[in-house]
Amino acid sequence: MTQQGTEQTLVEKQIIFEDEQIRVIFQPGSSSELIFSFGDLITRAKGLSINAEKSLQKYDFNVIGVMPKQKSWFPAASMQNMFAEIQHILEQFTVRIAYGGSMGGYAAIKYAKLFDFQRVVSMVPQYSIDPEDIVDTRYGMFFQPSLNANMRIQADDVSNEREYIVVYDPYCPEDRAHFEKLQALIPHVHVLHLPFTGHDAIAVLASSELLNDFLRHTFDAQYFYQKMRKVKKNSKFYYRKVIENLLSRHRIALGQILKNNHFQLDPQFFDAKQKQTLLRALFNNKQVSEQDLNKLGINTFMPQESRSLLLDQYAHGLVFNVISQKIECYAAGVIELNHKFLIPLQAKGTGLVYVYLQDERYMVVMNDRQVMKLISAQEDLPSGMHPVLMQKYAGYYTVNYKQLLLSSDEYGQAVFTEQSGSQCQFVTELEDSQI
């Protein structure tokens, strides 16, 4: 960097270029490096905000924040015009480094030659969003031929003299497809894997210290993995992403995550659907403890011991899950292991569906959106809620809500439907053993 006058350090953050697609902000600091920080679909232009602003300010970097105003992947025309306008700043710095994720990660690689970046740090970047270049249903809809013609990263955009660091999840097929295209162009790229986090590397690795290392530290894979592990261990978002991704791949590993890590998630951390999926995986693979559930931010309401079962056509017991507040079906062994949370529905002829919690009787009620809850038999029905009914026929029972029948499938999912048939018929343990 050439000698900077005292007057530059006094310059306030300011917009140095803007058009319909991008807003470019200069944030002065005391560093010898000039950092280009590219925004993404989420961190788009808003006032004078810059992507990763707090982390970059902490280390007093000189920063040019290139913030997208549209979902247009930094069109070449805008970038060329911006380059021409900011020469007075660029000429003061010989060391230039780029950082960005996703759309911003694409720009950091694509325009490295134009801005002469010595190092590029790119999180889960795209190679292109042109459907002719690559199939990606997440972003192909944003491709605009008038803005993005020939947008793919090409051999002329990269150089063996530049250093490229790419972080991505190799188990995310969409991001892996982009990376494989990039690796073919940049065989010397430094790769850091972040498994089971999908497209959320930026959120998982949010750390001022780690970002400083990415920008300044000599590349050493072992060093970076150690620093990444430290950040991950303190990231609630990381555990959420790993748990979500493990549900469909390695459900047994969930127990190890809960056993071997100390964390505490907020009750709002998972939405209702995620909680139900997570609980099913846990119930089917291990005995669930209250400590496990507390770690996951899931409140428990402890019932008394389980009683007799109604069985569906797959010999799964019909229960009320007091955590997910849903009627579900589980294998008998699972119910036995998790009897504090899974309460069998009692077959006592035609009438209202009740469950017993701590020696008190509760009605199962539901609204038209199939949201269930328990209310004491002595309480008034909440507005919009109606009782769930059980009807006894010769050899089987049905569970009804208005004109709908409860139906279960082989995976234990239970929903109310207008259909009828064997999937809507439940038998008692005794009746089932006599068939």
> What is the full DSSP assignment across 5-28?
PHHHHTPPPEEEEE-SSEEEEEE-
Mean pLDDT lowest among 31-40, 58-67, 199-208: 199-208
- The answer to whether residues 253 and 278 touch, using CB atoms and an 8 Å cutoff, is no
* pLDDT single digits (tens) 51-104: 999 999 999 999 999 999 999 999 999 999 999 999 999 999 999 999 999 999
Q: Strands 326-330, 372-376: parallel, antiparallel or unpaired by DSSP?
A: unpaired
In a domain, 302, yes or no: no
Q: Are 270 and 335 within one domain?
A: no
In a domain, 304, yes or no: no
Q: Is the pLDDT of residue 292 over 90?
A: no
In a domain, 303, yes or no: no
pLDDT score for 302: 47
pLDDT score for 286: 61
Average pLDDT of the residues in 139-151:
95
Closest to 64 measured CA to CA, from 103, 113, 102, 97:
97
- Structural domain of 425: 310-434
Of the segments 4-13, 19-28, 296-305, 401-410, which one has the largest average pLDDT value?
A: 19-28
Closest to 375 measured CA to CA, from 408, 344, 404, 353:
353
Number of separate domains in the chain? 3
In a domain, 367, yes or no: yes
Q: Is the pLDDT of residue 188 over 70?
A: yes
Q: Among 237, 257, 287, which residue terminates a domain?
A: 237
Q: Is the pLDDT of residue 303 over 60?
A: no
Q: What is the DSSP letter of 134?
A: -
pLDDT score for 431: 41
Q: Is the pLDDT of residue 16 over 70?
A: yes
CB atoms within 10 A of CB 295: 18
Question: In the chain, what percentage of residues exceed pLDDT 70?
Answer: 87
- Confidence label for 401 from pLDDT (cuts 50, 70 and 90): very high
pTM above 0.85, yes or no: no
Average pLDDT of the residues in 186-208:
94
Q: Is the pLDDT of residue 143 over 50?
A: yes
Closest to 224 measured CA to CA, from 200, 191, 257:
191
For residues 294 and 267, give the distance between their C-alpha atoms in angstroms, rounded to a whole number.
Answer: 9
In a domain, 264, yes or no: yes
First-to-final CA distance of the chain: 86
Buried b (16+ CB within 10 A) or exposed e, 197-234: bbbbbbbbbbbeebbebbbeeeeeeeebeebbeebbee
In a domain, 387, yes or no: yes
pLDDT score for 9: 41
In a domain, 411, yes or no: yes
Q: Is the pLDDT of residue 3 over 60?
A: no
Q: Is the pLDDT of residue 11 over 80?
A: no
Q: Is the pLDDT of residue 426 over 60?
A: yes
In a domain, 166, yes or no: yes
Q: Are 227 and 274 within one domain?
A: no
Q: Among 206, 237, 268, which residue terminates a domain?
A: 237
Q: What is the DSSP letter of 270?
A: S
For residues 76 and 244, give the distance between their C-alpha atoms in angstroms, rounded to a whole number.
Answer: 37
Q: Are 47 and 137 within one domain?
A: yes
